[in-house]
Amino acid sequence: MSNVNTSTKLPRSWAKLQERFYSLRPIHSKKDYKKALDAAGLLAGHDDLNAIQQDYLEILSMIIGVYEDQHYKIDTADINPVDVIKTLMEENAMNASDLGRLLGDRSLGCRILNGKRQLSKKHIAILSEHFAVNPALFLLPQNTPQDNLHSLAI
């Protein structure tokens, strides 16, 4: 949020955090969702949170995540893992060699991007951790034709 005032003095107790921002309970409406997002945005703008404030923000983030999963779920069935990698590489100013080095072999990046090499479980784990995304984004779409799989074989 661009208009978050990080100079605001934050409540330091659990009860005061819930009183001022959002009472930690499931989100049932868009109004509650917006209120929870505003609170999370304000807290996330501070780098000096105490343990209670960090715990409150963590739980609030989980509650927000549950609401988003229920109401804003993204269907990843038709997402191509190579396109996901290309997008993430572009956002992180990476090239094929950088991808290969990340995965342990400089030439591997080019082979994966050209569809000559499939991602292994180890590659998926490395990518999801490095880019902080769900590993499911790197799995083959469920509707991939069987005869196209030979071009992705190891």
Predicted confidence (pLDDT) per residue in 29-80, tens digit? 999 999 999 999 889 888 899 999 999 999 999 999 899 888 887 666 677 8
Predicted confidence (pLDDT) per residue in 13-29, tens digit? 999 999 999 999 999 99
Measured CA to CA, the distance from residue 102 to residue 108 in angstroms comes to 9
Average pLDDT of span 76-96: 89
As a CATH number, domain 81-152 is 1.10.260
pTM for this model (two decimals):
0.50
At 141 the pLDDT is 60
138 burial class (0-12, 13-18, 19+ CB within 10 angstroms)?
A: buried
At 76 the pLDDT is 63
At 79 the pLDDT is 75
Tokens 């090239």 sit on residue: 95
Establish how many alpha carbons lie within 13 A of residue 39's alpha carbon, considering only the half-sphere containing its beta carbon: 26
